Structure 1
Amino acid sequence: MDYWEKANHSWSTDSLRYINTSTKKERELFYYIQEIGYFKASKPYFTERENLPSYLIKFTLSGKGELFYQGKRTIIEAGDVFFIDCKEYQHYKTISHEPWEMDWIHIYGSNSRAFYEEFIKNGSNTFRTTQKGLVQNPIHLIIQDLLMLQQEPNAKTAFQSSIFIHQLLNELLLQKYRQDFSSTDIPDYVLAMRALIDDEFRQPITLERLEETFHRNKYQLVKAFSKYIGAPPIDYQISKRISYAKDLLRYSKMSIKEISMAIGIDNTAYFSRLFKSKVGLSPSDYRQTENGR
């Protein structure tokens, strides 16, 4: 199907909008901006479109909008972010008496699709940031930096914009999945769990053992460890084992069986299957590839 769009451009005179035309090099190398802006959009502002090769991110500062996307109608309020694939049908509009104030950016290129799919893995294209002070939110600040770059573009602008877009995409995931924490926020028992696994990753470690050691429900332990460390405890242990196995494959003359035993896996065939599932190569192929470099 062909791209089509209907819209009403009822935005204020102090609103900003930049439309970019990317070069072939930019499309091949970078995340790049197609359009970007800051709007105070009053009724009857709306956009309705489909089949546009673009990803749209909107961050609401004040007022209210309504998004209809993938058959779902969502009210968008201050602090809300949505991230949509504009190839799919979408309709969004102002519904508040005051203007819908928003930052917005159309992006494409590089790993945009992968970030989009990670963003929607919980089934939602929207989220509300928990950070206070919307004008100090990193999402707003990054888009403001991108807007400033467009005012007087030069030979570095595409490079700088790509860096900021990557930072923006990371920030969306950090805030949506509540990973925008500092190291001081990590509970002591999570740090202690990580230290135990780091020290004893070659030994059998079960959730039941962690539950008994840290006096917390194993499901709570898995949830907290996953949030703050980035993977469940057992997956973290497996990663430690695989990393150690890679080191031994590169820098020792131990056999595959000896390495399997050294990392705490008695079944060599299972170790080989596990290693290939994590690395993409069998242990012997990995050793040959690394030693041939």
Structure 2
Amino acid sequence: MINVERLAEVFANDSYEIQSVYRLVIQPKSLLREFRTLKYGFLFITRGSNQINVNGTVYELQPGSVFHAAPGMQMEAQVTSEAELEYYSVYYNLDKYYSENSHHECNAHFRLESGVIPRVIELLLMLQQNIHTPGGLGKLRAKELFLSIMHQVLVGHKNRELSGSTDIAAIEEAVAYIKRNYMNPLTLEELAEIHAMSPKQFSYFFHKHTGVRPIDFVIQYRMERASELLRVGNFPIRDIAVSVGYANPLYFSRAFKKRFGVSPSVYARQACIQVSPGCEQKDS
């Protein structure tokens, strides 16, 4: 069994460099005959399914599967779906100190099952587009995107492992996930998939343990964060809207007024007056 916390520590702390990223589409029933791997890398399956045999161990991969291999491994693969296989491959270099340590977590083959997470696919596309950006800032951006991908994948994998345990633990993790990601687009389907449940099942357990539906909780939490920003700074409403996950300031203002009874600008003006009578607040 994969130690998710240890693997997270490896990619958070150890020395490595993202080298290349490819998106590949393979025709149905294609066979990749036995070869020896040359690099450290991940395969992120986004469409179709395939079977990989690495050093005698067989892995069945489908959308949401993430497979890792290290250099010097014997591998062969075959597309097992009737449709095309689509995946992203991400290759990286590991510092020599770690690559020569046979017990290091990266010197192994393993599979992670995070489920299909739309945000991961978006991040993979962004990583592919940014991987060849030159200079230190380009490398920093690539690593930032890779770490975001790995965080989503590891959280998804951990949640699926916990799905057989108490639903309370799963919902507590879901609440924590929303609080970490409230500024990003979130849907019921995505939240349910990440936490290894159907949308109906996830919504039932979430309401059971929190008293509100998942998307209502997302909206409430966003509004609370927005109210904090309106109280502590003289920020334009459109900037606050984007900061809490709303690209449309008008939609944000309607949601805010529904939650607090007044528009964001009125709320900010009232908060401002309480602190310093006569102050002014930006409306846009």
Which TM bucket (shorter chain)? 0.3 to 0.5
**Superposition TM-score, scaled by structure 1 size:** 0.42
Q: Looking at CA atoms only, which structure, 1 or 2, has the larger radius of gyration?
A: 1
